[in-house]
């Protein structure tokens, strides 16, 4: 690997925010400053780069932010090559590259999820800008890393919510369907569902059969359990919906789907219709992305950030800093961008859930 000195780095946070972003900004900045680099914070993700909005970061700017949620730099979901400006989508790649050049950035460090990995690679491929990424998202769906930062905190928030729902569901003898974020991956729902002891866990990777769900709920009642908690991923779909999508028919043609109805509301409605059990919905929404990062996330962000500092010092660019066991390692960005890491069917967490008798919305029996 060719080594060269990095003098000036830019850092931005892009995509949805999550707990731990400030801890990661702090880790990168302190490590980079410690190696004699200049650090420039770009505001509001790639939009700030296009609009030339930035602030120099000194040690004092990243002091006392380890525990704070959100991102001091601000974030946005803007893509440099498809940016909404004055009501029109514009390709602003050249402007972004010219501004990076003007700031004399030797490398742009981008903290983000799958969209950010793609946008960073795009800037590198379009104009040779050196980039580095850190894997951030509560969805935990970035390829080539064991885990993303933000996930642990969000999983704890969702688990706490399931714990609280247990007591009220028990008192009222109700079914409560708890909708959990995660986009098209089931990591957050599966992790929180197992940790919170949900009775049914529905994830996008396993299309559910509503009959399997209702049979499980009825069996629980027969065993004297008059409440049930369903951890329901926002992206989960029924077998019928998947089948209809494959046939390329519109979802509105599916009689079990009401337009504008959330996933969890649909599941709750169908359960109530088919069993007569009283069902309620709780959608956790952006609560899962707020507040103080967990100790695990703070540690992870500091490890990732300082590893980024080391790689910058060595002039190793165009990589994502990935978590591999106890280590943080660079992975070529081409191997990451454009790939969504979903829960594999044979993943140990799936086996674990079945082994404690959790219904995963299919007809597979729990195994011993």
> Which residues contact ligand F6P (rule: CB under 6 A)?
16, 113, 137-139, 181-183, 234, 289
CB 254, CB 243: distance < 8 Å? no
Distance CA 175, CA 233 (A): 16
What is the torsional sign of CA 37, 43, 48, 53? Answer: negative
Task: Kindly name the residue from 44, 106, 139, 199 that is annotated as catalytic.
Answer: 139
**Contacts of residue 229, Cβ cutoff 8 Å, sequence gap at least 6:** 162, 165, 166, 169, 175, 176, 178, 196, 197, 198, 199, 200
**Two tokens, residue 235:** 């992206």
The answer to whether residue 139 is catalytic is yes
Smallest separation (angstroms) from ligand F6P to the CB of 357: 28
State which residue, 96 or 138, has the beta carbon closest to ligand F6P. 138
CB 293, CB 154: distance < 8 Å? no
Query: 280 exposed, middle or buried (CB, 10 Å; 0-12, 13-18, 19+)?
Result: middle
CA distances for 263 relative to 164, 268, 276, angstroms: 21, 9, 19
Smallest separation (angstroms) from ligand F6P to the CB of 183: 4
CB 188, CB 194: distance < 8 Å? no
State which residue, 113 or 305, has the beta carbon closest to ligand F6P. 113
Largest CA distance in the chain: 70
At 6, give phi and psi (nearest 5°). Answer: -95, 125
State which residue, 147 or 218, has the beta carbon closest to ligand F6P. 147
CB 274, CB 216: distance < 8 Å? no
Smallest separation (angstroms) from ligand F6P to the CB of 213: 22
**Contacts of residue 60, Cβ cutoff 8 Å, sequence gap at least 6:** none
Q: What count of Cα atoms within 13 Å lies in the side-chain half-sphere of residue 262?
A: 17
State which residue, 267 or 359, has the beta carbon closest to ligand F6P. 267
State which residue, 137 or 159, has the beta carbon closest to ligand F6P. 137
CA distances for 216 relative to 17, 46, 156, 199, 222, angstroms: 36, 47, 26, 9, 10
**Two tokens, residue 98:** 């010219």
**Closest residue by beta carbon to ligand F6P:** 181
**Two tokens, residue 160:** 């706490």
State which residue, 271 or 320, has the beta carbon closest to ligand F6P. 320
Smallest separation (angstroms) from ligand F6P to the CB of 154: 8
**Two tokens, residue 313:** 């010092």
Smallest separation (angstroms) from ligand F6P to the CB of 94: 27
Smallest separation (angstroms) from ligand F6P to the CB of 103: 28
State which residue, 46 or 317, has the beta carbon closest to ligand F6P. 46
Smallest separation (angstroms) from ligand F6P to the CB of 289: 6
Q: Which residues are catalytic?
A: 139
């Amino acid at each position: 690997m060719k080594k060269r000195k990095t003098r000036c780095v830019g850092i931005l946070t892009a995509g949805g925010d999550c707990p731990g972003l400030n801890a990661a900004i702090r880790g990168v900045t302190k490590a980079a400053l410690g190696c004699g680099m200049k650090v420039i914070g770009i505001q509001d993700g790639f939009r700030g780069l296009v609009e030339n909005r930035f602030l120099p970061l000194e040690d004092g700017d990243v002091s006392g932010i380890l525990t704070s949620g959100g991102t001091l730099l601000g974030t946005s979901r803007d893509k440099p090559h498809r940016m909404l400006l004055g009501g029109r989508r514009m390709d602003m790649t050249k402007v972004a590259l010219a501004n990076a050049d003007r700031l004399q950035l030797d490398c742009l460090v981008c903290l983000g999820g799958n969209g950010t990995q793609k946008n960073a690679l795009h800037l590198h491929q379009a104009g040779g800008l050196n980039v580095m990424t850190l894997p951030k998202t509560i969805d935990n769906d970035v390829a080539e890393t064991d885990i993303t930062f933000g996930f642990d905190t969000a999983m704890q928030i969702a688990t706490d919510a399931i714990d609280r729902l247990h007591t009220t569901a028990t008192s009222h003898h109700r079914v409560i369907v708890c909708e959990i974020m995660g986009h098209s991956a089931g990591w957050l729902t599966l992790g929180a569902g197992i940790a919170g002891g949900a009775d049914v866990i529905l994830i996008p990777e396993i299309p559910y059969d509503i009959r399997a769900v209702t049979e499980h709920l009825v069996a629980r009642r027969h065993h004297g359990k008059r409440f049930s908690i369903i951890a329901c991923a926002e992206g989960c779909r029924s077998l019928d919906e998947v089948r209809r999508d494959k046939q390329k028919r519109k979802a509105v043609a599916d009689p079990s789907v009401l337009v504008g109805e959330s996933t969890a509301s649909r599941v709750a409605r169908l359960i109530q219709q088919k069993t007569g059990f009283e069902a309620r919905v709780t959608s956790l929404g952006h609560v899962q992305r707020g507040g103080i990062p967990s100790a695990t996330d703070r540690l992870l962000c500091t490890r990732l950030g300082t590893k980024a500092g080391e790689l910058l010092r060595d002039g190793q660019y165009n990589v994502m800093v990935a978590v591999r066991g106890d280590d943080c390692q660079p992975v070529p960005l081409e191997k990451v961008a454009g790939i969504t890491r979903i829960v594999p069917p044979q993943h140990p967490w799936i086996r674990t859930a079945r082994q404690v008798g959790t219904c995963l919305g299919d007809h597979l029996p729990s195994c011993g």
